[in-house]
Amino acid sequence: MSAATFGDRLAAEFAAGRHLCAGIDPHAPLLSDWGLSDDAAGAERMGRDVVAAAAGVAACVKPQVAFFERFGAAGYAALERVLADAREAGLLVIADVKRGDIGSSFAAYADAWLSPGSPLEADAMTVAAYQGFGTLEGAFAHVRAHGKGLFVLAATSNPEARPVQTAVRADGASVAAAMVADAEAWNADAQPESAVGSVGVVLGATLDLADFGIDTGERQPGPALPVLAPGFGHQGARVEDADAVFGRLGRALLANESRSVLAGGSEGLADRIRDRASAIAEAL
Ligand SMILES: O=c1ccn([C@@H]2O[C@H](COP(=O)(O)O)[C@@H](O)[C@H]2O)c(=O)[nH]1
C-alpha cells in the first residue's frame, strides 16, 4: 500500500511550479538529428538524456512506448533502462501506451505498467476506455493500492478523432464528455478528500473543448481532474492560450511537449526543457 496517491504526487509537482511533461519520442528523424542510430540503443540514449535533463525541472516524462516497441525485445529492454533512470531521478513517468481491452485482458496490461516491481513499472499510463469505463478496474486496483495514476483518452489532439469523440451517447453525453465525467466521478468517490485526483484524462490543447461537449466553465466539487494535454509546441497549441482552452479543467494541467523539446539535437536539450518549463509555469 502506497501512502501518497498519484494525485498527491502530482499536487506536489504543481506546488513546486512544475507543469511540463517532457515527451520521450525517439522518432527516426530526431534520432538522426541527435547523431544517434535508429535502433534500440539510439532510443535508449535519447530517453536517458531526456530523463537527466528533465529531473527537477519537469513534472514528469512521457515515453511514447510505440517508438521503443518498434525495436521489439531490444526496444523494451532499452525502455526498461529509461524507466529505471527516471525512477532513480525521482521523476514521475507516464507510460504513453493507450491500452484498452475487455476487463480481464486489460488487467494484464495494468499489471505490466503499474505493478510495483514490474520491469516496465511507471507511475501512470494512458488508457482507452472505449470498451467501457468499467474495463479499467484492473488499473483502478493499482491506483487504490499502489498510488498509481491513469489518463483516459477523452478528446485527443488529432483531427481524425472528432467523429468518434463528439458522438453522442444514448444518455445525451458526448463520448468525450462522458470520459471526463466518469473520471471526475471516480476521483470524487475514491479520493474525496484529495486536492488532485489520481484518474485523469487526455485533452488535446489544439481543440475547442466546447465542440466536444465538454464543459470548461463551472468548477465541479471534488478533487481537481488531472489533465494530460498534448498538442503544445509541434502541433501548434500555445501555452499562453491554455487558460482559454481548459478553463476549470486547467487546475491540474500537465502540458506535454515532445518534438518541440527534442528537435535540435542533444546539445541544448537541458536549456530547451528549462525554457519550456518556465514558459509553461508562467502561463499557468
Ligand atoms: O491526443 C493525443 C494523445 C497523445 N498524443 C501523444 O503526445 C505526444 C505529442 O508529441 P508532440 O511531438 O509534442 O506533438 C506524442 O507522443 C503523441 O503520441 C498526442 O499527440 N495527442
Does residue 26's CB lie within 6 angstroms of at least one atom of ligand 1?
no
Ligand 1: atom nearest CA of 233 is 13
> In 3D, which of 45, 87, 48, 20 has the Cα closest to residue 228?
20
The CA distance from 135 to 133, in Å, is: 5
Cα of 230 from ligand 1 centre, angstroms: 5
> In 3D, which of 69, 67, 34 has the Cα closest to residue 53?
34
Contacts of 265 (CB under 8 A, 6+ apart): 33, 34, 35
Q: What is the DSSP string of 130-164?
A: TT-GGGGHHHHHHHHHH--EEEEEEE-SSGGGHHH
Structure confidence at residue 259 as a pLDDT band (50, 70, 90)? very high
The CA distance from 178 to 71, in Å, is: 36
Domains of the chain: 6-283 (3.20.20.70)
Does residue 63's CB lie within 6 angstroms of at least one atom of ligand 1?
no
Distance of CA 115 to the CA centre of its chain: 18
Other C-beta atoms lying within 10 Å of the C-beta of residue 49: 19
> What's the pLDDT tens digit per position in 132-163?
999 999 999 999 999 999 999 999 999 999 99
Cα of 252 from ligand 1 centre, angstroms: 18
Ligand 1: atom nearest CA of 64 is 16
Containing 199, the helix (H) or strand (E) segment is strand 199-203
The CA distance from 11 to 25, in Å, is: 25
Does residue 64's CB lie within 6 angstroms of at least one atom of ligand 1?
yes
Contacts of 221 (CB under 8 A, 6+ apart): 188
- Give the cell for residue 114: 503499474
- The reply to whether the predicted model has a pTM over 0.95 is yes
Ligand 1: atom nearest CA of 256 is 13
Q: At what angle do helices 137-146 and 103-114 cross, to 10 degrees?
A: 30
Does residue 233's CB lie within 6 angstroms of at least one atom of ligand 1?
yes
Instruction: Identify the pLDDT of residue 9.
Output: 98
How much is the ipTM here? 0.99
Instruction: Taking residues 45-60, report their average pLDDT.
Output: 98
Positions marked active-site = 98
Cα of 1 from ligand 1 centre, angstroms: 32
Cα of 24 from ligand 1 centre, angstroms: 10
Does residue 23's CB lie within 6 angstroms of at least one atom of ligand 1?
yes
> What's the pLDDT tens digit per position in 162-210?
999 999 999 999 999 999 999 999 999 999 999 999 999 999 999 999 9
